Structure 1
Amino acid sequence: MSTNQHVLIVEDEPDLATLYATWLEDRATVETAYSGTEALDAINGTVDIVLLDRRMPGLSGDTVLETIRERQLDCRVAMVTAVEPDFDIIGMGFDDYLVKPVSKSELLGTIDQLELRSTYDQQLQEFFALASKKALLDAEKTDAERKSSQEYAKLEDRLAVLRANVDDTMTALLEKNVYRRLCQDISREPITSE
């Protein structure tokens, strides 16, 4: 991860916010907010990545996320929460979802992936976000639950469309000889330190 990233940690448990900040301090400019209201005051055009607790007293992480997207701020958002995922996540505008407890390597890996995603166009960002949601639901829900969900069916349809669009984009990149560098970036494992 480059050192010029600005990460906002939104966590109502100060000890946990401090721990995350400590893990990231050598790799990014880190700011913390301990409530949804503080988060909205702190989020501006300089924030690249938001680590957002979903369940907080007062203004919830869900509301903070909606406001970030309504403001059309160009930042990646990872929900870092104890709330187990359900089908309601499909309509949410986050880029990744981590269920607490979160290890240092998990958090750093997520930050690395969010930074990588932000370098690609909006089409790829949407594809990665939806693929992450599908993978999460595939791991957490039974086959019968997924088959009975209209939201999940819409998610699969949208992924199919995006996959075709991404293939077209890859073809265009291949013609411009950028494809090889793109594939190398995607396949590269992030280097993290414990």
Structure 2
Amino acid sequence: MLVVDDERDIADLYSTWLAEEYEVRTAYGPHEALDQADEAVDIVFLDRQMPEMNGDEVLEALRERRLECRVVMVTAVDPDFDIVEMAFDDYLTKPVMLDDLHGAADRMLDRESYDERMQEFFSLASKKATLEAEKDFVELQDSEEYEQLESEVEHLREEADQTVSDLSEAEDFETLFQEFPGDA
């Protein structure tokens, strides 16, 4: 895990909290974060507002490297519709407490076992929930970005439902086949 925040006290606090259960690296700025990010890092907790290079740019650099890490934006910036296009997995708005960090870490580790489409679904669903918590109904209804996000989430949900249905039917067939092996 890598905690990135230009405010040393916050970075150290988050790292201390997470170190209770996880192996943690700490970076006090964007360049240090990029130096420390490698294949061993499974989750990055990334501050969005940093001098020199903001968290959005660090996120972009991480994704360009094709690192297989989950990224949780941790920021005091209230989310806007620009988050729809960002390649993060979850979004926490400061102040962030111990349970928030541990909950996000657990969710990200659980998602590692999911296929790419399910990871995409949860990332988009997180963005949708973040926007719904921060924006009023009229703002959401007037946003093309939100409408597209809503459509993508629904499409992925339908795909997942179909996969579950297909698996269920296959399991039913397998059970039937086991009950009547001579008939097949």
Structure 1: tracts of 5 or more residues without a match? 1-6, 178-194
User: Normalization by structure 2: what TM-score?
Assistant: 0.89
Once the two structures are TM-superposed, the CA of residue 157 in structure 1 deviates from its matched residue by 1.1
Q: Measure, in 2, the Cα distance between the counterparts of 1:171 and 1:129.
A: 23
Q: Which residue number in structure 2 is paired with residue 21 of structure 1?
A: 15
2:130 corresponds to 1:110? no
More helix by share: 2
Q: Measure, in 2, the Cα distance between the counterparts of 1:40 and 1:173.
A: 41
Q: Which residue number in structure 2 is paired with residue 77 of structure 1?
A: 71
Q: Which residue number in structure 2 is paired with residue 96 of structure 1?
A: 90
Runs of 4+ in structure 1 deviating by more than 4 angstroms, as ranges, are: none
**Number of residue pairs matched by the alignment:** 171
Q: Which residue number in structure 2 is paired with residue 149 of structure 1?
A: 143
Which of these two proteins has the greater Rg computed from alpha carbons?
2
The correspondence for 1:45, drawn from 19, 32, 39, is 39
What per-residue deviation string (whole Å, max 9, x for no partner) do you get for residues 61-104 of structure 1?
10000111121110000001111111111000111110111010
Q: Which residue number in structure 1 is paired with residue 80 of structure 2?
A: 86
* Aligned partner letter, 1:79: M
What per-residue deviation string (whole Å, max 9, x for no partner) do you get for residues 28-73 of structure 1?
1100111111111111111100000000011111000011112111
Q: Which residue number in structure 2 is paired with residue 33 of structure 1?
A: 27
Structure 2: tracts of 5 or more residues without a match? 172-184
Q: Which residue number in structure 2 is paired with residue 158 of structure 1?
A: 152
Percent same amino acid among aligned pairs? 53
2:117 corresponds to 1:127? no
Q: What SS does the aligned partner of 1:29 have?
A: coil
Q: Measure, in 2, the Cα distance between the counterparts of 1:174 and 1:141.
A: 38
Q: Measure, in 1, the Cα distance between the counterparts of 2:117 and 2:166.
A: 14
Q: Measure, in 1, the Cα distance between the counterparts of 2:133 and 2:5.
A: 26
Q: Which residue number in structure 1 is paired with residue 4 of structure 2?
A: 10
Q: Measure, in 2, the Cα distance between the counterparts of 1:20 and 1:77.
A: 15
The structure-2 alpha-carbon separation of the partners of 1:175 and 1:74, relative to structure 1 and needing over 3 Å to count, comes to farther
Q: Measure, in 2, the Cα distance between the counterparts of 1:81 and 1:46.
A: 24
Q: What SS does the aligned partner of 2:26 have?
A: strand
* Aligned partner letter, 2:47: D
Q: What SS does the aligned partner of 1:90 have?
A: helix
The structure-2 alpha-carbon separation of the partners of 1:33 and 1:163, relative to structure 1 and needing over 3 Å to count, comes to same
Q: Measure, in 1, the Cα distance between the counterparts of 2:158 and 2:132.
A: 21
The structure-2 alpha-carbon separation of the partners of 1:173 and 1:75, relative to structure 1 and needing over 3 Å to count, comes to farther
